[in-house]
Amino acid sequence: MDELLANPAVQAAIVPFIAALVAGLILKPVGWYWAGLAVITGFYASVSLITGFEFTPLTSTRKLVLIGMCAAAVGLMLDYLAPKPRQLYPVLAVLGGGAILWMIWPPLMRMHGASLWIHGVGSVAYVVWILWATESLRSRALRANAALMTLGLGTGIAALMGASALLGQLASALAAATGAFLLLSLFKKTLPVGLLMLLPAALLSGLIGISAMTYAKLPWYSLLALAAIPLLARLPLPKQLPLWGQAVALVLVTLPAAAGAIYLVWREAGAPPM
């Protein structure tokens, strides 16, 4: 069993999917946004195997794990407060901008001149865009779930090909956990998406993408393809499609953006390290 759990594919795909599926089945009857904890459960089940929960010394990856926990708590608080969009968007901008600057501050401080500002402002803009764009899908849960799953999958494979196996595993775990949540949404009625799930999932996806660009070999322009995923999730679908058909269609229309990001990394960095 220990040898099985040490397998990177098991850690990044099977464990988070099963953990999220089981947690979702338990939490689904509770209602409200609590079922969204399934995604958090799946992701951190994977984290427990990949990195563990040691926070000293506070590396960028450990900051990432910690930020995800804090984002879930903030998301739950925001779900209870139910702020209006004009109140929520500045909060998301501050949270996203602060989180990414905290993560990449050491390498950012080693940059000078225009590269410092371009890297810093671009990183903040990407993370804030991912938060805003996915939050705007919150009332259309199936679209939000599909976008988050494809975003995690594209980010994970792109990070792996950009020479960061660890970041690739973490993003893939997020995609697997979100995929389990999407699967649960196909039975009876779609599970509602609250900030309890959406905020940490979107924030972690954005942070992993920027971290792979900063600490590995992910080209910045591949993030532009990933940033298009929430936009593609808004494309209209035939009204006669059943729920499962809508889910499949949403994944299919968002996958080209993820594939585009992966191709751009492959063209720049070559085949992933084995």
252 is a domain residue: yes
274 is a domain residue: no
178 is a domain residue: yes
244 is a domain residue: yes
Task: For residue range 175-198, list pLDDT tens digits in order.
Answer: 999 999 999 888 766 678 899 999
Q: How far apart are CA 130 and CA 199, in angstroms?
A: 10
106 is a domain residue: yes
Do the beta carbons of residue 5 and residue 15 sit within 8 Å?
A: yes
Q: What is the DSSP letter of 189?
A: S
Q: How far apart are CA 104 and CA 118, in angstroms?
A: 13
Do the beta carbons of residue 139 and residue 176 sit within 8 Å?
A: no
> What's the domain count of the chain?
1
pLDDT computed for residue 148 by the predictor: 96
Residues 28-49: what's their mean pLDDT? 89
Residues 6+ away with beta carbon under 8 Å from 207: 64, 67, 99, 100, 103, 127
What whole-number percentage of the chain has pLDDT above 70? Answer: 96
What whole-number percentage of the chain has pLDDT above 90? Answer: 67
Residues 6+ away with beta carbon under 8 Å from 228: 257, 260
Domain coverage including residue 240: 2-269
Task: For residue range 213-247, list pLDDT tens digits in order.
Answer: 999 889 999 999 999 999 999 999 888 888 889 99
